[in-house]
Chains A and B, each alone.
Chain A
Amino acid sequence: MGKLYVSRRSLLKGSAAAGVAIAAPTIFTSRAWASDFTNKPTGSSVTLGFNVPQSGVYADEGADQLRALQLAVEHLNGEGDGGMMNTFSSKALKGNGILGKKVEFVTGDTQTKTDAARASARSMIEKDGAIMITGGSSSGPAVAVQALCQEAGVIFMAGLTHANDTTGKDRRRNGFRHFFNSYMSGAALAPVLKNAYGADRKAYYLTADYNWGYTTEQAISQATEGVGWETVNKVLTPLGAGDFSSYIAPVLKSGADVLVLVHYGGDMVNSLTNAVQFGLRDAQANGKNFEIVVPLYSRLMAKGAGDNVKGIFGSTNWHWSLPDDGSKAFTKSFGTKYGFPPSQAAHTVYCQAILYADAVERSGSFHPCGVVEALEDFKFDGLGNGPTLYRADDHQCFKDVLVVRGKEKPESEFDLLEIVEKTPAKQVTYPHDHPQFAGGELGTCNAGTA
């Protein structure tokens, strides 16, 4: 009638180091192997936890992620048109749930805060028995929840998180990232920028004053310096500043001829609007046209900034206008259900849900360590990004990166970005111990309570 839940680790430690530490009394350890891992599904269904921002600055993206995840659940359970499951290169999924168990889900609100994200993930794991957590639209919560999932012994399939740290210094064995990262943005953007604007450019950075801002600024500046650009100045701006005029004003007098806005979401909308209002786009500096660059683009941001994004370069993980079968299938089934095309945030979590389910099918068990093994060095195709590798060394996906530009003549409110170049995966690949990613260790997989 009673059941002890003790993590396997502490048992191993307890028995191995009984003489050193005061080990857990034997009464606590006697029935430790009742089940294999945290939240092992026992009934006819399996519960996934969708932890997305439902309030706060990224609420729009969270809502889009939730739509995509609901769609993924439908497809996994064999409802709807199957979406990207039909184009996915692995055919392990049969449309009868995962391992024959019907997929159910619970949702939580990250509020884009580390504490809130962790609290809602914990309650999904402890109360609702979620076996996998996915979603999220910011790197802070992603890193926090990834660490939590490692401790609890469930799988974390990161949502939209672009900072290097997620698969860099904060990487974890139980966590996986499908989304691209700051380094890849830099590596993809730099050659395109060089072709468009020349090698002799002076860049000025306005950087959001938090973790993602730092890693992205570093990645972009190192990459552009690699093609001959010079960095004039780097200025940190507070998150959610609202008005960036005071930061924009000194840019023209600084001698720079490119402004890089390392901002995301509402901040990017505001800073770009300010910059355009200050006439930066029509200005001349050093005898050249003044240019603006936005490292990480999303359709939702482009929509917010309106006409101001026209002609501005940036990078993105995926765009619904891609012509491959996977993208078309996904856009079609998302559009049929909701009436508009999906965003990159929606795409990445949809892929993550399918990838997780597929890994469970292939490994034949929900055991997190089996899932980790199945995902490591897994090569796949047909999910909209071309051939993709889930690298074992850091659990980062390597795939083509899109360089996009704000469209001059948009045909609809969703048709705001045009794809300039598809940078091949080879060009954005880096060694897993690259300085920008150094200091992290995956550790070993944790299956949690025994």
Chain B
Amino acid sequence: MSVDSVFVHKMWNDHELSRMVKGGVPFPMLSDGGGRVGSVYGVYLEDAGVEARGRFLIDPDGVIQGFEVLTPPVGRNVGETIRQFQAFQHVRKSKGTEAMPSGWKPGKLTLKPGPGLVGKVWEVWKTKMAFD
């Protein structure tokens, strides 16, 4: 979503993005003229008249599970967004019985919070696991 019109979205897709991604952009390119939706989401930069790089992770119930907002010059890390989706999907599948420690990715150790784990996380989770 950006403040550009759908006509400009079409031109950008057809003339540039479709040369980066085979078949063009697979998801809807939303237009937010005037930044009204962006204002509600807190990402509309009034002075510049554009929207910041905001990314909102919304679950199947419509609940915002996380967001990240960057100023224009730095791009996002799509891999991190996907990792967060995977982590929240895992939490949801476990019906909240499992928690994902720092650095978690699919296949790595999850934690099962409970009285027995209090003060014992250091025994099962090592700091280097945040970085590998």
Genuine A/B complex: no
Interface residues in chain B, defined as those with a beta carbon under 8 Å from any beta carbon in chain A: none
